[in-house]
Amino acid sequence: MSQPIISFNHITKKIADETILEDVSFDIEEGKFYTLLGPSGCGKTTILRAIAGFTDVDQGDILFGEKRINEVPANRRQVNTVFQDYALFPHMNVFDNVAFGLKIKKVAKDKIKETVYEALRLVQLAGYEMREISEMSGGQRQRVAIARAIVNKPKVLLLDEPLSALDLKLRTDMQYELRDLQKRLGITFIFVTHDQEEALAMSDQIFVMNQGKIMQKGTPVAIYDEPINHFVDDFVGESNIIDGTMIEDNLVEMVGERFTCVDGGMRVNEPVEVVIRPEDLKLTSVEQGKLSVSVDTQLFRGVHYEIITSDRQGNEWMVHSTKKAVEGSQVGLSFEPEDIHVMRFNETEKDFDSRLESYE
């Protein structure tokens, strides 16, 4: 790995008696798209504020490159923030909003004009220079806010739920545009959302957070395929989570039967949670299935049917299938060993890493 552009080393922050961030460590590599994903109140905005210098921390080092920046004031950090409410100046037009930071820095007039026009072109707002902010739609305001942030050519752009106020269609369009912009500019993005699909669609790396801690870091595929614990799994996607027992490496028991799997590194007969994704389950005849279930209900979801089935112990199994099932019928469920994901109860990222090392 190349030298990270930003690092958090064991950052802890408390407000009164409450721990807001607990032993948070991560490295941000230059030029990539990072997402902080987690429920409301988990500390996402606090991390952005600590990076930007709007809040201090109680313990740990914040590094920019090799330099410790804990005491560096906000205006001397090479980052820019797009706030959730955009924080545009309502009494200024689009041009003046975007030009604001450059005017303060006393950049030459010609240069300001050139830079602002270029930024507005990048966010596809060329021609809107003289519009008032009050005459812009939500999505357009959002792009003005991004243009304002990129004219300063920050090394790192922090974006705090910038899309949350937009309707679904515009939001999806902006997801593409933001991702595209990030690639073209090569700026490091740290993006905050509590929307799992948004995080999966946009990021190079996701940090899943809960209650002031980072639960898991990884690529979207890794986090989706190998969630380390129940929280991450529940938060990142729909899943079937069933109690089981790890008999030995590569052998797990659930619903009274034993199945070959690809996980290991746990104690013999350790109680575990077994996860199988709805899209990894296939409906078969009872004879061909690994589990026998009855079809309870189904809903058409546009691309697939979401079918709720239950096994003889009463566990529910959700199946995604392009074919309709017959409600009330008895069917089989088939899956492959690699579709079975075994999770320890409340395993942390550190434990997960050392278990993988011991196992590999």
Ligand X SMILES: Nc1ncnc2c1ncn2[C@@H]1O[C@H](COP(=O)(O)OP(=O)(O)OP(=O)(O)O)[C@@H](O)[C@H]1O
Q: Applying CB under 5 A, which residues contact Mg ion?
A: 45
Under the binding rule (CB under 6 A), the answer on residue 44 touching ligand X is: yes
Question: Which window, 41-49, 92-100, 170-178, 250-258, contacts ligand X (CB under 6 A)?
Answer: 41-49
Among 42, 57, 159, 272, binds ligand X (CB under 6 A): 42
Among 46, 80, 240, 309, binds ligand X (CB under 6 A): 46
Binding partner of residue 242 among Mg ion, ligand X, none, CB under 5 to 8 Å per kind? none
Residues paired with residue 318 on neighbouring β-strands, in sequence order: 308
The alpha carbon torsion through 345, 346, 350, 352 (nearest 10 deg) reads 30
Q: Closest approach of Cβ 97 to Mg ion, in Å? A: 23
Q: Closest approach of Cβ 44 to Mg ion, in Å? A: 5
Question: Which window, 36-44, 125-133, 231-239, 308-316, contacts ligand X (CB under 6 A)?
Answer: 36-44
Return the structure tokens found at 355: 């278990």
Among 11, 34, 35, 43, binds ligand X (CB under 6 A): 43
How big is the site for ligand X, counted in residues (CB under 6 A)? 11
Amino acid identity, position 194: H
Q: End-to-end distance of the chain based on CA atoms, in angstroms? A: 21
Q: With respect to Mg ion, which residue has the nearer C-beta, 45 or 216?
A: 45
Among 3, 10, 15, 286, binds ligand X (CB under 6 A): 15
Question: Which window, 34-42, 166-174, 282-290, 297-305, contacts ligand X (CB under 6 A)?
Answer: 34-42
Closest to 239 (Cα-Cα) out of 276, 273, 200: 276
Closest to 190 (Cα-Cα) out of 285, 79, 85, 284: 79
Q: With respect to Mg ion, which residue has the nearer C-beta, 45 or 97?
A: 45
Binding partner of residue 344 among Mg ion, ligand X, none, CB under 5 to 8 Å per kind? none
Under the binding rule (CB under 6 A), the answer on residue 40 touching ligand X is: yes
Q: State the Cα–Cα distance between residues 47 and 35, nearest whole angstrom.
A: 12
Q: Closest approach of Cβ 193 to ligand X, in Å? A: 9
Among 41, 65, 186, 271, binds ligand X (CB under 6 A): 41
Q: Closest approach of Cβ 272 to ligand X, in Å? A: 29
Helix/strand number for the chain, H first, E second: 9, 20
Q: What is the CA radius of gyration of the chain?
A: 24
Under the binding rule (CB under 6 A), the answer on residue 45 touching ligand X is: yes
Binding partner of residue 337 among Mg ion, ligand X, none, CB under 5 to 8 Å per kind? none
Give me the helices (H) in the chain, please.
44-52, 94-104, 109-122, 138-150, 168-185, 196-202, 220-225, 230-236, 349-359
Angle at 278 between CA 235 and CA 248, to 5 degrees: 85
Q: Closest approach of Cβ 125 to ligand X, in Å? A: 27
Angle at 209 between CA 240 and CA 229, to 5 degrees: 35
Q: 176's torsion region: left (phi>0), alpha (psi -120 to 50) or beta?
A: alpha
Q: State the Cα–Cα distance between residues 114 and 118, nearest whole angstrom.
A: 6
Residues 171-200 interacting with ligand X (rule: CB under 6 A): 194
Give me the helices (H) in 74-203, please.
94-104, 109-122, 138-150, 168-185, 196-202
Q: With respect to ligand X, which residue has the nearer C-beta, 21 or 223?
A: 21
Q: With respect to ligand X, which residue has the nearer C-beta, 141 or 194?
A: 194
Q: With respect to Mg ion, which residue has the nearer C-beta, 81 or 115?
A: 81
Q: Which residues of the shown chain bind ligand X in the complex (CB under 6 A)?
A: 15, 20, 38, 40-46, 194
